């Protein structure tokens, strides 16, 4: 058999596990890279990797590498392959194309079409028949990765991602992929525990992924054995006899392994997920090998006959503020259950917030980084022994907010250093000297900015932004109309003008003593109502963590208390309780006003529109038509209500869609043209509604080029981002006029923080 250059892809941070797997399969010349492993081998090696790898996504067989400086180079490079060696003219194929740092081709749809055309044209010229496209199960799947000026052309031997084992109901969305579950088990020492007949328990088993992967590892059950489709089965060079032999060997190993399977059990409190897990177990042919029952986490305990082994689970992450208190209590109860019933066991779990791990009250080994999709997580591994127990002291965001609010209600001493009766430490607890410094700075800022705001008819502005490092909060003043109805803000009953204060604490670093940080926050909440002259009930607090995704889209509550503010003649709805952000980005005030001034008789497009405030400004400015696009139905509806508060007629289109997908489609169709476009994408997004992860630094060139394609002659694109380390790729955009207007778009109330956002005016 000939020796091929092969490449196995895997999720980031799993490269070492995949390397170990390939070495165990007898693979040589292995080189791990980011999100993959390069290696060499014959077809048997490649087939064995497809059949046995538990952590790979795809196995690629490299056909060629070539230089791509122009679009024509890609076409010619693909045509150098004799495709009749791989498929017949009446067969089908599919193309996967990705590009990074390429000046020649940044649009992946266009790149895939170019590859397809090269293959079809070659086959049609030789046989007068062209192969067809089949994106589901083609005879072969072709993968092209263009990195800079180098393209790697490969056959995808897996056909579809190897994490799809064949036992899962494809209509059910899983919280984790099968190869991540396998990685967790391998990293937690399950193969060794299973050999010693240790038990496996998942007390929050959901649809059973960890149980099934654990059983397949323990039973020497090849993860690809259930699949009926691989990318090589329709390939002309497929060695059917070799594949048949490998499958027969795997079937025999499975038969032997299943005979000595240890105890494997799953619990879940949800009846529906228990039934789903049982169906998946049956699909894998593991009935009577894995036991699943409905049981609450508090009732999770092993039977006396079970040999101590591994307890493993994927518990709730508590990503949303509204869920965090409940999630923290769950972890606390779970920790008590572990300490009570599982002495002598090992435990492992994957979490995205390491602080929740402290709630268990059990010391863990050094956490291992893994990625659940694009979400960075930590795998905690623990030995359930009394020597590792401790009393947890960590607090959730909701704990901190509640404590700070309570402390802020304690009367402040009139003179620094005077102790309050029965509260000998109250002056110290509130750090009155520091609180007075904060108070003085807030007064100074208010005096300066209130005059500026009055002169410029600005009702909502930032009055403090971590001016004193010890008091790292942002304080925003909102003045507007309050109303009585919670559910119908468009039919509100005015109750007079009110002032609200939105306070965001920048989460303190772990080096800061938590108790001291809480005292300072309490001092802030005590001073703000007094200095700004507002009722404490009108002060709203949230804690702004380091962003992991599009945090402004996280829903924290469901109070539905909307209020109407006015900006530049536009009425806009804001909400202080249900979301991290209020529905209005104050730092974008100048760019919204600029859009309003330039919108007359223009066709306006607002991408990643959030609540559509820029669209309202364009409409008030006399735009001929507006199009508002956002993926969230909640925010599209919010944008519609904002528009209805101001204008009830005109051509105003609201589209709920993945902006990236919508933009790519409209670029291809070429039916839409706009005179003015506002493009304010998130820094990062891995929304479940999106097919791919979006990263502003890596993807901005393609995004801007797609948006520019919708500009009419003489049109203007305003592109903005709040990613502080962002660097615009002017070389890749050298055919465009790119003007940095960031300084002109930073308002007076954000002047102390010039990196709040960056903004460019872009034209062809």
pLDDT per residue over 296-346, tens digit each? 888 899 999 999 999 999 987 654 433 556 777 888 889 999 999 999 999
pLDDT bin (cut points 50, 70, 90) of residue 433 is low
pLDDT bin (cut points 50, 70, 90) of residue 431 is very low
Which range of 30-39, 383-392, 574-583 scores highest in mean pLDDT? It is 30-39
* 493 has a pLDDT exceeding 60: no
pLDDT of amino acid 397: 54
Q: By CB neighbour count within 10 A (0-12 exposed, 13-18 middle, 19+ buried), where does 307 fall?
A: middle
* 624 has a pLDDT exceeding 90: yes
* 187 has a pLDDT exceeding 90: yes
Q: What is the mean pLDDT of residues 428-433?
A: 45
pLDDT per residue over 50-78, tens digit each? 999 999 999 999 999 999 999 999 999 99
Q: How far is CA 287 from CA 133, 199, 310, in A?
A: 39, 17, 21
What sections of 128-189 are H helices per DSSP? 178-187
Q: By CB neighbour count within 10 A (0-12 exposed, 13-18 middle, 19+ buried), where does 187 fall?
A: middle
pLDDT per residue over 557-573, tens digit each? 556 788 899 999 999 99
* 238 has a pLDDT exceeding 90: yes
Query: What sign has the CA pseudo-torsion 70, 76, 80, 83?
Result: positive
pLDDT of amino acid 398: 55
Round the CA-based radius of gyration of the chain to a whole number and report it.
30
- Reported as half-sphere exposure (CB side, CA atoms, 13 A), residue 329 has a value of 6
* Distance separating alpha carbons of residues 700 and 645, to the nearest angstrom: 33
Q: What is the mean pLDDT of residues 584-593?
A: 96
Q: Cα 614 to chain center, whole Å?
A: 25
Query: What sign has the CA pseudo-torsion 554, 557, 562, 563?
Result: negative
pLDDT of amino acid 719: 97
Helix, strand, coil percent values for the chain (each to nearest 5): 35, 25, 40
Q: Which of 87-91, 401-405, 479-483, 646-650 has the least mean pLDDT? A: 401-405
Query: What sign has the CA pseudo-torsion 177, 178, 179, 184?
Result: positive
pLDDT of amino acid 542: 84
pLDDT bin (cut points 50, 70, 90) of residue 694 is confident
pLDDT of amino acid 690: 47
pLDDT per residue over 542-551, tens digit each? 877 554 443 4
**H or E element at residue 371:** strand 368-372
pLDDT of amino acid 558: 54
pLDDT of amino acid 491: 52
Q: What is the mean pLDDT of residues 97-101?
A: 93
- What percent of the chain has pLDDT above 70? 87
Q: Which of 81-85, 253-257, 480-484, 516-520 has the least mean pLDDT? A: 480-484
What sections of 533-600 are H helices per DSSP? 589-598
* Distance separating alpha carbons of residues 702 and 540, to the nearest angstrom: 39
Query: Any residues with CB less than 8 A from the CB of 360 and at least 6 apart, and which?
Result: 331, 332, 334, 335, 338, 382, 392
Mean pLDDT of the chain, nearest integer:
88
Q: What is the mean pLDDT of residues 21-44?
A: 94
Q: Strand locations in 468-585, DSSP E?
A: 473-483, 494-506, 539-544, 562-567, 570-575
Q: How far is CA 526 from CA 395, 475, 522, in A?
A: 21, 13, 6
- What percent of the chain has pLDDT above 90? 71
More confident residue, 482 or 70: 70
pLDDT per residue over 369-407, tens digit each? 999 988 889 999 999 999 999 876 545 555 555 556 655
More confident residue, 414 or 683: 683
Q: What is the mean pLDDT of residues 152-158?
A: 98
More confident residue, 505 or 256: 256
pLDDT of amino acid 648: 79
Q: What is the mean pLDDT of residues 632-644?
A: 94
pLDDT of amino acid 427: 37
pLDDT of amino acid 132: 95
* 507 has a pLDDT exceeding 90: no
For the chain, how many helices (H) and strands (E)?
20, 30
* Distance separating alpha carbons of residues 346 and 184, to the nearest angstrom: 13
pLDDT of amino acid 569: 94
Q: What is the mean pLDDT of residues 415-443?
A: 52
List, in order of start, the domains of the chain with CATH numbers.
4-156 (3.30.2130.30), 178-224+252-388 (3.40.50.150), 395-546 (3.30.750.80), 580-764 (3.40.50.150)
Query: Any residues with CB less than 8 A from the CB of 279 and at least 6 apart, and which?
Result: 169
More confident residue, 463 or 359: 463
pLDDT bin (cut points 50, 70, 90) of residue 470 is confident
pLDDT of amino acid 501: 95
Q: How far is CA 88 from CA 130, 243, 746, in A?
A: 9, 21, 60
* 645 has a pLDDT exceeding 70: yes
pLDDT bin (cut points 50, 70, 90) of residue 434 is low
């Amino acid at each position: 058999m000939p020796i091929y250059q092969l490449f196995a892809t895997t999720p980031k941070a799993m490269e070492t596990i995949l390397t170990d797997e390939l070495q165990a399969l007898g693979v040589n010349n292995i080189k791990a890279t980011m999100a993959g492993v390069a290696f060499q081998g014959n077809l048997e090696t490649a087939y064995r990797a497809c059949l046995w790898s538990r952590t790979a996504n795809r196995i690629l067989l490299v056909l060629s590498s070539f230089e791509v400086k122009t679009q024509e180079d890609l076409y010619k490079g693909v045509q150098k392959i004799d495709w009749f060696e791989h498929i017949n003219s009446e067969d089908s194929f599919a193309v996967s194309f990705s590009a990074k740092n390429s000046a020649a081709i940044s649009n992946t749809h266009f790149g895939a079409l170019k590859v397809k055309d090269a293959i079809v044209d070659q086959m049609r010229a030789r046989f007068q028949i062209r192969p067809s496209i089949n994106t589901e199960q083609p005879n072969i799947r072709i993968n092209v990765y263009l990195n800079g000026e180098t393209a790697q052309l490969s056959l995808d031997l897996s056909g579809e991602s190897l994490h799809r084992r064949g036992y899962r109901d494809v209509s059910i969305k899983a919280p984790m992929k099968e190869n991540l579950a396998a990685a967790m088990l391998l990293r937690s020492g399950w193969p060794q525990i299973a050999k010693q007949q240790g038990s496996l328990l998942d007390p929050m088993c959901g649809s059973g992924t960890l149980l099934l992967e654990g059983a397949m590892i323990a039973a020497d059950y090849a993860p690809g054995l259930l699949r009926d489709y691989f990318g090589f089965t329709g390939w002309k060079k497929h060695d059917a006899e070799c594949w048949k032999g490998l499958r027969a060997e795997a079937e025999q190993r499975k038969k032997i392994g299943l005979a000595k399977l240890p105890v494997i059990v799953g619990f879940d409190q949800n009846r529906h997920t228990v039934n789903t897990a049982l169906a998946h177990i049956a699909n894998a042919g593991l009935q009577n090998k894995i036991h699943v029952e409905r049981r609450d986490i508090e009732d999770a305990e092993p039977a006396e006959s079970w040999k101590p082994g591994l307890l493993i689970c994927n518990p709730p992450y508590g990503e949303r503020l509204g869920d965090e208190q409940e999630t923290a209590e769950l972890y606390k109860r779970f920790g008590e259950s572990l300490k009570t019933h599982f002495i002598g066991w090992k435990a492992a779990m994957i979490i995205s917030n390491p602080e929740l791990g402290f709630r268990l009250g059990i010391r863990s080994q050094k956490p291992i980084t893994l990625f659940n999709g694009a979400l960075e997580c930590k795998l905690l591994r623990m030995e359930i022994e009394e020597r590792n127990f401790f009393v947890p002291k960590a607090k959730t965001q909701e704990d901190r907010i509640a404590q700070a609010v309570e402390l802020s209600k304690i009367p402040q001493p009139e003179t620094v250093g005077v102790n309050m009766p029965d509260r000998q430490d109250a002056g110290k607890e509130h750090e009155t000297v520091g609180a007075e410094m904060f108070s003085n700075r807030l007064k100074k800022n208010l005096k300066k900015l209130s005059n500026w705001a009055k002169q410029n008819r600005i009702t909502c502005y930032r009055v403090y932004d971590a001016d004193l490092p010890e008091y790292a909060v942002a304080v925003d003043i909102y003045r507007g109309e309050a109303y009585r109805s919670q559910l119908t803000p468009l039919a509100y009953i005015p109750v007079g003008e009110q002032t609200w204060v939105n306070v965001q604490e920048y989460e303190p670093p772990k080096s800061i003593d938590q108790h001291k940080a809480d005292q300072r926050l309490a001092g802030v909440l005590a001073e703000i109502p007094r200095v700004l002259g507002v009722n404490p009930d009108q002060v709203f607090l949230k804690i702004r963590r380091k962003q992991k995704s599009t945090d402004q889209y996280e829903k924290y509550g469901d109070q539905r208390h909307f209020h109407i503010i006015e900006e530049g003649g536009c009425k806009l709805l804001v909400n202080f309780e249900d979301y991290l952000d209020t529905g209005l980005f104050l730092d974008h005030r100048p760019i919204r006003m600029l859009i309003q001034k330039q919108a007359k008789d223009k066709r306006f497009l607002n991408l990643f529109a959030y609540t559509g405030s820029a669209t309202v400004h364009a409409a008030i400015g006399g735009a001929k038509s507006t199009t508002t696009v956002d993926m969230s139905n909640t925010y599209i509806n919010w944008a519609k209500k904002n528009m209805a508060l101001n204008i009830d007629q005109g051509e105003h289109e609201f589209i709920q869609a993945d902006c990236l997908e919508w933009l790519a489609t409209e670029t291809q169709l070429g039916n839409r043209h706009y005179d003015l476009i506002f493009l304010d994408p998130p820094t990062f997004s891995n929304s479940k509604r999106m097919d791919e992860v979006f990263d502003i630094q890596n993807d901005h060139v393609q995004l801007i080029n797609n948006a520019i394609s919708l500009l009419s002659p003489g049109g203007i694109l305003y592109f903005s981002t709040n990613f502080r380390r962002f660097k615009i790729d002017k070389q890749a955009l050298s055919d465009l006029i790119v003007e940095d207007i960031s300084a002109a778009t930073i308002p007076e109330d954000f002047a102390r923080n010039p990196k709040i956002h960056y903004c460019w005016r872009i034209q062809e």
